[in-house]
């Protein structure tokens, strides 16, 4: 069993991912933190608390960053995740029984101190909270050894700009801080998540289940799938965050990965937020970057096996 901290900006796919983690016996969720991202942090925290309470999770929940570490005010698009961040599902308010009176960064440090060398940090949104934790405690990477992030892209176009993925663009400075630290960093980016699709047949199966996780997915997913239909050319949605959970819970689903040097673009007029990967290994050209952080990029996964497993777990 892998102990994890999940940092999330719970919109629909993040909720689908959190639910998957909470029903997966391969993962022990020791804490959850929230951040602005798909919607504002208050709505994110509400959605996260709902998911945790419906599934009976007793892990601590900490509210996190309202904006990027450079102070840039966030913007939100309600057409993607709905005005409530959960597909306009109109869910009853949670009790916030898991919410603790410390910041996300402080809870992260506390949990790492309680489990030194044992935790995997799963980032499903901007990396703001983890960057703040590092700024509070620069020794954190000595005790938190692995970070798995749904963000950026290595050889894929962006989904907000031609080159930038949403979670990277929300806080490029935070991404640069985190990627530059001395821990194992795994990118589960658009290269694999964009083509991993939850489709109409999957939704129909989920709707037939009475499990709490399935009921939440059935409530939130349709609006998200409506948004994705013209993008995908069929009714469905990309499984960004659920696939990231699966990389940790089911590493056998990873078919290929590659070590690359990466920088985060901070100043480009058209490229801010791009995760720039040096893929020139074995090619003619200038010297390959030697001073950029070395990360692991997931480049292929067993999509069909993952979707099958996801639906089975959520409906059980």
Beta strands in the chain (DSSP E): 2-8, 27-34, 61-62, 119-123, 146-149, 184-187, 197-199, 236-238, 254-264, 275-278, 294-301
Torsion of CA 149, 109, 6, 71, to 10 degrees: -60
Coil/strand/helix, residue 8? strand
- Cβ within 8 Å of residue 64, ≥6 positions away: 7, 33, 34, 35, 41, 103, 104, 105, 128, 129, 132
Candidate list 83, 156, 170, 240, residue with the active-site label = 240
Record the tokens describing residue 176, joined without a space.
């640069």
What does the alpha-carbon distance between residue 37 and residue 41 come to, in Å, rounded to a whole number?
7
Query: Half-sphere exposure (CA, 13 Å, Cβ side) for 19?
Result: 32
Q: Which residue carries 């499984």 as its tokens?
A: 239
What does the alpha-carbon distance between residue 279 and residue 283 come to, in Å, rounded to a whole number?
9
Question: What one-character-per-residue DSSP string does 223-272 give?
Answer: HHHHHHHHHHTSSEEE-HHHHHHHHHH-GGGEEEEEEEEEEE--S-TTTT
Identify whether the C-beta of residue 246 lies closer than 8 Å to the C-beta of residue 2. Answer: no
What does the alpha-carbon distance between residue 10 and residue 85 come to, in Å, rounded to a whole number?
7
Identify whether the C-beta of residue 89 lies closer than 8 Å to the C-beta of residue 82. Answer: yes
Nearest CA among 314, 150, 127 for reference residue 240: 150
What does the alpha-carbon distance between residue 263 and residue 253 come to, in Å, rounded to a whole number?
27
Active site residue 250: no
State the catalytic residues: 240
């Amino acid at each position: 069993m892998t102990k994890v901290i999940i940092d999330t900006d719970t919109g629909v796919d993040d909720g689908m991912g959190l639910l998957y983690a909470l029903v997966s016996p391969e993962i022990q969720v020791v804490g959850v933190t929230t951040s602005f991202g798909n919607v504002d942090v208050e709505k994110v925290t509400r959605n996260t608390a709902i998911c945790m309470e419906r599934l009976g999770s007793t892990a601590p929940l900490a509210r996190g960053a309202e904006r990027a570490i450079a102070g840039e005010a966030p913007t939100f698009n309600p057409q993607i995740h709905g005005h409530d961040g959960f597909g306009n599902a109109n869910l009853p308010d949670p009790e916030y029984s898991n919410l603790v009176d410390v910041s996300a960064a402080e809870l992260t440090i506390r949990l790492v101190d309680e489990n030194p060398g044992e935790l995997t940090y799963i980032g499903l949104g901007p990396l703001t909270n983890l960057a703040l934790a590092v700024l509070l405690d620069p020794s954190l990477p000595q005790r938190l050894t692995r970070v798995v992030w749904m963000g950026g892209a290595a050889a894929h176009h962006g989904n907000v700009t031609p080159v930038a993925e949403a979670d990277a663009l929300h806080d490029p400075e935070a991404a640069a801080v985190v990627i530059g630290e001395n821990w194992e960093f795994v990118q589960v980016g658009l290269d694999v998540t964009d083509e991993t699709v939850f489709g109409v047949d999957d939704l129909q199966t989920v709707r037939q289940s009475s499990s709490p996780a399935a009921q939440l997915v059935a409530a939130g997913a349709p609006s998200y799938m409506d948004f994705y239909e013209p993008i995908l050319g069929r009714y469905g949605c990309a499984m960004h965050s659920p696939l990231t959970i699966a990389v940790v819970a089911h590493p056998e689903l990873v078919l290929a990965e590659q070590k690359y040097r990466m920088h985060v673009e901070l100043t480009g007029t058209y490229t801010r937020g791009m995760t720039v990967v040096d893929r020139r290994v074995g090619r003619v050209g200038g010297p390959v970057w030697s001073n950029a952080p070395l990360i692991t990029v997931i480049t292929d996964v067993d999509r069909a096996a993952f979707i099958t497993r996801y639906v089975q777990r959520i409906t059980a």
